């Protein structure tokens, strides 16, 4: 069964460093997402991406964040200068539309980012 994959599973970085989190969505999916979950808190939407551009972003997704689909398979989230509060589990998801009312987002296993 196709699945969303994410690498690395755990990333440790120092404050102020840049990190790139990588995702490989399901191959025929067209919509891509990043979410994050700070330990003990809700899963929060960061950004959605369709047709090579951002469709929607949350207030969390400030200028320090960027997304890219550099080739036909990868979808990346970059944090330019990490802060302690960026420590969280980051989930990538992808979806395909079956009809107007039925769509499902498929999630990867997550990347745990620890900023020290």
Dihedral of CA 66/83/93/104: which sign?
negative
Smaller CB separation from other proteins, 58 or 64: 58
Pairing state between β 111-115 and 10-13: parallel
Nearest-angstrom CA–CA distance, 110 and 23: 9
Size of the site for other proteins (CB under 8 A): 32
Q: Is 4 in the site for other proteins (CB under 8 A)?
A: yes
Distance set, CA 49 to CA 1, 10, 27, 39 (Å): 23, 24, 15, 25
Per-position x/- string for 24-63, each x denoting binding to other proteins as judged by CB under 8 A, each - no binding: ------xx-x-x-----xxxxx--xxx----xx-x-----
List residues binding other proteins (CB under 8 A).
4, 6, 30-31, 33, 35, 41-45, 48-50, 55-56, 58, 91, 93, 95, 97, 100-110
């Amino acid at each position: 069964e196709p699945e969303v994959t994410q690498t690395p599973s755990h990333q440790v970085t120092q404050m102020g460093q840049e990190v790139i989190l990588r995702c490989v969505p399901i191959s025929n999916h067209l919509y891509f997402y990043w979410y994050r979950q700070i330990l003990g808190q809700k899963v929060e939407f960061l950004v959605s991406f369709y047709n090579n551009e951002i469709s929607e972003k949350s207030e969390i997704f400030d200028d320090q964040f960027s997304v890219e689909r550099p080739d036909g398979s990868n979808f990346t989230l970059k944090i330019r200068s990490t802060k302690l509060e960026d420590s969280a589990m980051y989930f990538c998801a992808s979806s395909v539309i079956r009809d107007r009312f039925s769509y499902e987002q498929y999630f990867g296993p997550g990347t745990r980012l620890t900023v020290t």
